[in-house]
Chain A
Amino acid sequence: MTANKSDRVTRETAATRHVGFTVNGQYHEFRVGSGGIEISPTHTLSWTLREVLGLMGTKVSCDSGACGSCTVIMDGKAVLSCKVLTIECDGKTITTIEGLRDPKTGALDPIQQSFIDHTAFQCGYCTPGMIMTAKAFLNENPQPTEEEIKDALSGNFCRCISHYQVIRAVMSVVEKEGEHGR
């Protein structure tokens, strides 16, 4: 006998549904529902990160998937947290800008430091997204060309035109890494 709708729906709601995922090394589990600390099916990951977990480093600018400000790393890939439903993050590993700092020494990630050294921002609102995109990209391709960096960052928009400094900041990380490698 095939299950009908009410069976299927009851199956999901009777056993209270939970969503659990790791953010910056810490595991969080939420009940699905409409209460204060529950995850509603309509919540986006960017909302949960900012409003529930208080991780305000992830910025929401266009909230339409067009600007790259809300980029976080999920299971190794740069994704837009405004276009991810939290309820669909079960079992995922997520890194936000707050998670880049070395947890023991507190030292900034080389990309963060390089953004500071090159003043690769003006207002800074797009910067966490830029850094997270660059981080995911350099993890995959540690020795890219300048063209490849431009391509990787083509989904991150900056209205202050910090792009030139951003490219220089990321290139500088690549060059330093290259020297260490030699």
Chain B
Amino acid sequence: MKQFEHHDALSIEEAVALLSDYEGKAKIIAGGTDLLGALRDEVFLEYPEALINIKTIDGLDYIRSDEKGLAIGAMAGLADIVKSPVVKKEYQMLAEAAYSVATPQIRNMATIGGNLAQDVRCWFYRYPRRIGGPMVCLRKGGKFCSALAGDNRYHSIFGAAALSDISLDLGKVRKGCFAVGPSDIAVALIAMDASIVTTKRSLPAELFFKATALSSTVLDSDELVKEIEIPKLPMGAVQRYDKFTLRKPIDFAVVSVASMLTLNNGVCEDARIVLGAVAPEPVRARKAEQVMKGRIVDEDVALEAAEHALAGSSPLRMNEYKVEIAKVLVKHAIWG
């Protein structure tokens, strides 16, 4: 790895102060499982000048539940979330999503805040610089997304993330970045209508993920995730999480789906269905949710909803299969 400075922050305030001192040229390190790989392969457009370690901040790894719901500190480990009795009992979807991440060792190291703030896994973007130089994709100052010309089997089926408003002299830009949002936990959090509390604001999980060709979240360069709040789930809520991968451990999702259906005598009162790894951000399948409301949930409704969920998709040359996988996952999420 190339040199960087290293600071142990002892409080959130200190971490934020250090971030603003470095004016966007420092990165937060939590579990490090994503960041250290990106540093080793030198994938960032600008190599960071410093890392700010937040493992040295006490008391950020809590998992607390009360009558309002669940509060999880940003530094709570994925393995601890998987094992937490209250998560397993009342918020199974989150336990399943956390369990579906990577491998046991990585879950021992990775944190929930880091999972939400992780960088995309696109294989053009992540291509190691030391092997023949970097792939200059749109995220690295290139003129177009490499996935348009290359192997795009794992890329977005719902279009590209526009280049952000940062003014780079890029000439004519073709579309945007087709990398998909990598977080499994994001999908579950949006289905449960969670809020994400940062050092600057609290916002619904759905609005936290805002993809541009330079970033995947709304986080400013001097902002970090502090807490995740999940409201108590409604009575009768049926939670499901499913993730399609080629290998069970280590792989990122080809498609993931999280759903929360509120049923009353078999009639759907409310539905939240979220698709992951199909677009630059997690996608709420709002039309699918709408067609289910007020109807008795059966296989036909599930099939209809699955069609609606993928209605607006526009697959690339090599990823049409993801549309079919997503339909099957949505159907399973609704009707077993």
- Tell me the A residues contacting B by CB distance below 8 Å: 2-5, 8-9, 12, 32, 34, 40-42, 44, 63-66, 68, 71, 77-80, 82-85, 87-88, 133, 137, 151-155
With contacts A41-B3, A155-B104 taken as known, whether A5 is within 8 angstroms of B36 at the C-beta atoms is no
Cα–Cα distance between A84 and B35 once the two chains are bound (Å):
11
- Whole-angstrom distance between the Cβ of A96 and the nearest chain B Cβ: 14
Set A77, A88, A155: member contacting B53, Cβ < 8 A = A88
Q: Which residues in B have their C-beta under 8 angstroms from that of A84?
A: 32, 109
Asked if B21 and A133 sit within 8 Å, CB to CB, the answer is no
Interface: B314 (CB within 8 A): no
Interface: B106 (CB within 8 A): yes
Interface: B249 (CB within 8 A): yes
Contact string against A for B residues 2-37, beta-carbon threshold 8 Å, 1 for contact and 0 otherwise: 111111100000100110011000000100110011
Cα–Cα distance between A90 and B102 once the two chains are bound (Å):
26
Q: Which residues in B have their C-beta under 8 angstroms from that of A12?
A: 7
Q: Which residues in B have their C-beta under 8 angstroms from that of A4?
A: 21
With contacts A2-B17, A83-B32, A88-B53 taken as known, whether A71 is within 8 angstroms of B105 at the C-beta atoms is yes
Set B18, B29, B41: member contacting A85, Cβ < 8 A = B29
Q: Which residues in A have their C-beta under 8 angstroms from that of B21?
A: 4-5, 8
Q: How large is the interface on B (under 10, 10 to 19, 20 to 34, 35 or more residues)?
A: 35 or more
Interface of B is mostly: mixed
Set B4, B5, B105: member contacting A133, Cβ < 8 A = B105
Asked if B105 and A80 sit within 8 Å, CB to CB, the answer is yes
Asked if A77 and B6 sit within 8 Å, CB to CB, the answer is no
- Whole-angstrom distance between the Cβ of B17 and the nearest chain A Cβ: 7
Q: Which residues in B have their C-beta under 8 angstroms from that of A137?
A: 104
Interface: B248 (CB within 8 A): yes
Q: Which residue on A lies nearest to B248, using beta carbons?
A: A154
Q: Which residues in B have their C-beta under 8 angstroms from that of A133?
A: 104-105
Q: Which residue on A lies nearest to B109, using beta carbons?
A: A79
Question: What 18 additional pairs, Cβ within 8 angstroms, besides A64-B40, A154-B104, A155-B104?
Answer: A4-B21, A12-B7, A41-B51, A42-B2, A42-B39, A44-B1, A64-B37, A65-B36, A65-B102, A68-B103, A80-B33, A80-B109, A83-B37, A85-B6, A85-B32, A88-B29, A152-B104, A154-B103
